[in-house]
Amino acid sequence: MSLQFIIDAYNLINHPLYNREEYSLCPAAALAAFIREKRLTGSLKNKVTLVFDGFPPAQAPSQQEGYIGIIFSRKISADEKIKMLVESSSGRKAIVVVSDDRQIRFASKALGTKVIGIEEFIRGKEKEGASPKEPVKPELTYTQVQRINEELREKWLK
C-alpha cells in the first residue's frame, strides 16, 4: 500500500536541516527537488503533497512535479488546508502528515493519520542506515552447551 505524505512546506523550508542555499530554484521547485534527491519518502509509489501558505509566485512550478503535488493555500492558512486535505480523504490510515506545528499534529492524529516531525522526516533514512542492527546470536540449548564442553575437554584436557 502506498503512502500519501502531506507536508507543511514552509515548516520544512525553515528547518535548520534544510539548506536553502543549496537550492537556487523557487521554494516549491527547490523543496520538490530536495525530497526527490534525498528520497525522503522511500518508494516512488508514495505520493507527496507540499502545502504552501498564500498564492503561487509567478515562477512557481506546475501543480504536479512527478509524484510530488504542490498546493498553495490561497486565502486560508496552510494549516487549515492540511486539515481540510486530511478530513476529505477516505484513506486516512495511509496518510503521513509531516509538520512540527502542534495544532496540525493534534488535529491529524485525531483524524487517524500518522504524524511525524520535520527532523524525523529528514533524518529518517539516515537513522536507518547509521546504526546497522547487530546480528542475532542464536541461543544454545543446555544439551548443546554440554556437548560442546565435552568435545573441548576431549581435545584440550587429554
Per-residue pLDDT of 78-95, as tens digits, reads 999 999 999 999 889 999
Q: What CATH number is associated with residue 11?
A: 3.40.50
Residue 80 domain-assigned (yes or no) = yes
On whether the pTM is more than 0.85, the answer is no
Residue 29 domain-assigned (yes or no) = yes
Residue 5, all three cell numbers: 505524505
Q: How many domains does the chain have?
A: 1
Mean pLDDT of the chain: 83
User: Residue 23: which domain range?
Assistant: 4-132
Residue 40 domain-assigned (yes or no) = yes
Sign for the CA dihedral angle at 60, 62, 63, 65 comes to negative
Residue 40, all three cell numbers: 525522503
Q: Which amino acid is at 8?
A: D
Q: Which amino acid is at 83?
A: K
**pLDDT, tens only, 44-63:** 889 999 999 988 877 665 56
